[in-house]
A and B are shown apart, each in its own frame.
Chain A
Amino acid sequence: EADIYQTPRYLVIGTGKKITLECSQTMGHDKMYWYQQDPGMELHLIHYSYGVNSTEKGDLSSESTVSRIRTEHFPLTLESARPSHTSQYLCASSAYSGSPLHFGNGTRLTVT
């Protein structure tokens, strides 16, 4: 089983709040990713990192930001949440480019 953890599992917050979604992995993987999953199930890559101090934007433009100060930790932050940010956010990691992804169980965010 992959050891990648996301917290919280569920989050309901009001508009304008700042939030951070946590993602940690204990496998020593260099590559980490954030996907946004819409209610229709489709996955959109919003951020990725190939190692410490490396972050890139993904295919879908997102108002969120990420940081990668430690190999095992890849948090995602929304400075001011809006209802349009309501979605499921999935974190993933891989050992190297081209290897399969290991996913966390996701954070389901609802912004009211």
Chain B
Amino acid sequence: GDSVTQMEGPVTLSEEAFLTINCTYTATGYPSLFWYVQYPGEGLQLLLKATKADDKGSNKGFEATYRKETTSFHLEKGSVQVSDSAVYFCALLIPNSGGSNYKLTFGKGTLLTVNP
């Protein structure tokens, strides 16, 4: 079945370090891919998305490229800030067999802590 595997955390970095959170997926068909972020005490927010192969999603300095050949959607940021401390979820969206509805599958989440 469809699934998402993301890097286990927690990840702890110093401010201005480079961030990579790995995400790979297994899917039949042509999924859309998302990264959601959950700040402490809040719900999830959409961070970025990509709907087809080779698309690059970007937002707030974060980027991820939809790589069909490696079935990956790794999240990167060149210089993290303390305010980026949060839980990051990779997610896969794929239509059902009839194409009328979609199933969203989340990874297990990666906790990022950025220290000053």
Q: Please give, as numbers and ranges, the residues of chain B lying within 8 Å of A6 by CB-CB distance.
A: 43
The size bracket of the interface on B is 20 to 34
Q: Are B43 and A100 in contact (CB under 8 A)?
A: no
* Contact mask for chain B residues 88-105; partner A; CB cutoff 8 A; 1 contact, 0 none: 010001010000111010
* Contact mask for chain A residues 69-106; partner B; CB cutoff 8 A; 1 contact, 0 none: 00000000000000000000011100001101111111
A43 within 8 A of B: yes
Contacts known (A50-B101, A100-B34); A41 close to B42, Cβ less than 8 A: no
Q: Please give, as numbers and ranges, the residues of chain A lying within 8 Å of B106 by CB-CB distance.
A: 42-43
Q: Are B93 and A98 in contact (CB under 8 A)?
A: yes
Of A41, A50, A91, A101, the residue contacting B104 (CB under 8 A) is: A101
**A106 nearest CB neighbor, chain B only:** B43
Residues of A within 8 A of B (CB): 4, 6, 40-43, 45, 50, 90-92, 97-98, 100-106
Known contacts A42-B108, A43-B44; can you find 20 more A-B pairs with CB under 8 A?
Answer: A40-B108, A40-B109, A41-B38, A41-B108, A41-B109, A41-B111, A42-B106, A42-B109, A43-B89, A43-B109, A91-B43, A97-B101, A98-B93, A101-B36, A101-B44, A102-B46, A103-B43, A104-B43, A106-B42, A106-B43
Could you list 16 A-B pairs, sorted by A, with CB under 8 Å?
A4-B43, A40-B109, A42-B109, A43-B44, A92-B44, A97-B95, A97-B101, A98-B32, A98-B102, A100-B49, A103-B43, A103-B44, A103-B45, A104-B43, A106-B42, A106-B43
